[in-house]
Amino acid sequence: MKVGIVGLGHIGKKHQAAAALVPSVEIIAGVDKQASTMSKQQAVYGSIDEMISAHPDIDVIAICTPNGLHAKQALHCLEQGKHVICEKPMTTNKQDAEALINASLHSGKYVFCVMQNRNSPISQWLKELIINGTLGEIYSIQMCCAWNRDERYYTPDSWHGSQALDGGTLFTQFAHYIDTLYWLFKDLKITGGTFNNFNHEGLIEFEDTGMFSFEFGQRGQGQFFYTTAVWDKNFESTMSIIGQNGTIKVGGQYMNEVQYCHIKDYEMPSLASSDNIQNLSNIYKNAYDVLNAKEQVMTNAMDGLKVVELIENIYKFKG
């Protein structure tokens, strides 16, 4: 499977590393106005059209650009007959997400959404517990994502912090955790929210801290607190689940540790370790398998739409 990458910044480099872990995938070109080469074997072009013209045999194009560009660039790639791997968020509004779904259907080309947190061993373990009903009825969920993003991140020449290109803290920093909630507990009803910008005045055009409440299932309730106002470095990302038959807390910087597990008549299994690049590589493996009729799309454009829709519903409480 031949791949072109659009956007060779921090995220684009992660995609290069992830794709390299899949033997059946080859990155043959990239697009980036600020980069001259990817390697001696891989050329970099100034536009998507230039790349496609030079490499018409590209199968899939990965969109790794600022959030506000995802919809336009992904649509263009679909129109050019290419499958798309789209970084989160798929778009920054529901209307663009729906347009992307329609274009995918009409072109017969796939959109693979990057939601690699679903592939982590801990996420897979949580999903299995919920599907099997091991915890019984889920009563409540408490999430906390406390990270650092300061002037080292929001530099004057960066797209980060712009409403048009960034979209907001939930789109850029915490979309993966919104997806985790949706993936584990299905549709959420957002019931309230509060938002503040404590120490990023002049750096960002939206909140650096927020909290929203939600309902799920028959009578479950939850709360999600998030912030990028932590001093110096990331603090934690945690999720506590309280159910009829037990309690779980996962934590660490990226919900990569099981910190507490106490479940009726249950023995905690040993979970494999993984990292973000390994989880991301599964997106490329899935794309290859789908194009070779071996699997179904693991995270499709409808999943991307759901996350965008949830974030829009949360931000409606900004007033």
Cβ atoms of 49 and 31 within 8 Å: the answer is no
Q: Over 70: is that where the pLDDT of 37 sits?
A: no
Give yes or no: residues 41 and 176 share one domain: no
What tens digit of pLDDT does each residue of 90-106 get?
A: 999 999 999 999 999 99
What tens digit of pLDDT does each residue of 63-92 get?
A: 999 999 999 999 999 999 999 999 999 999
Cβ atoms of 196 and 210 within 8 Å: the answer is yes
Instruction: Identify the CATH number of the domain in which residue 8 sits.
Output: 3.40.50.720
Mean pLDDT value of segment 31-60: 87
What band does 319 get if pLDDT is binned at 50, 70 and 90? confident
Q: In what order do the strands lie in the sheet with 257-263?
A: 189-196, 209-216, 220-227, 138-146, 236-243, 246-251, 257-263
Q: Over 90: is that where the pLDDT of 124 sits?
A: yes
Crossing angle of the two packed helices 301-315 and 175-185, in degrees rounded to 10: 110
pLDDT score recorded for residue 38: 65
Give yes or no: residues 111 and 197 share one domain: no
Give the range of the structural domain holding residue 7, as residue numbers without chain letter. 2-116+278-299
Mean pLDDT of all residues in the chain?
Answer: 95
Whether 318 is in a domain gets the answer no
Cβ atoms of 59 and 41 within 8 Å: the answer is no
- Indicate the DSSP class of residue 111: E
What proportion of the chain, given as a percentage, has pLDDT over 70? 98
Give yes or no: residues 44 and 127 share one domain: no
What tens digit of pLDDT does each residue of 234-292 get?
A: 999 999 999 999 999 999 989 999 999 999 999 999 999 878 999 999 999 999 999 99
Give the C-alpha distances (Å, rounded to integers) separating 92 from 66, 147, 171, 181.
Answer: 10, 21, 7, 18
Give yes or no: residues 92 and 130 share one domain: no
CA atoms of 92 and 86, how far apart (whole Å): 12
pLDDT score recorded for residue 157: 86
Q: Over 90: is that where the pLDDT of 187 sits?
A: no
Backbone angles phi, psi at 133, to 5 degrees: 75, 20
Nearest Cα neighbor of 86 from 258, 283, 290 is 283
Instruction: Identify the CATH number of the domain in which residue 207 sits.
Output: 3.30.360.10
Torsion, Cα 136 117 259 212, to 10 degrees, reads -70
* Residue pointed to by tokens 């299994």: 269
Whether 309 is in a domain gets the answer no
Q: Over 70: is that where the pLDDT of 41 sits?
A: no
**Total of domains in the chain:** 2
Q: Over 80: is that where the pLDDT of 117 sits?
A: yes
CA atoms of 115 and 298, how far apart (whole Å): 9
CA atoms of 213 and 302, how far apart (whole Å): 23
CA atoms of 315 and 171, how far apart (whole Å): 11
Backbone angles phi, psi at 151, to 5 degrees: -65, -15
pLDDT score recorded for residue 39: 61
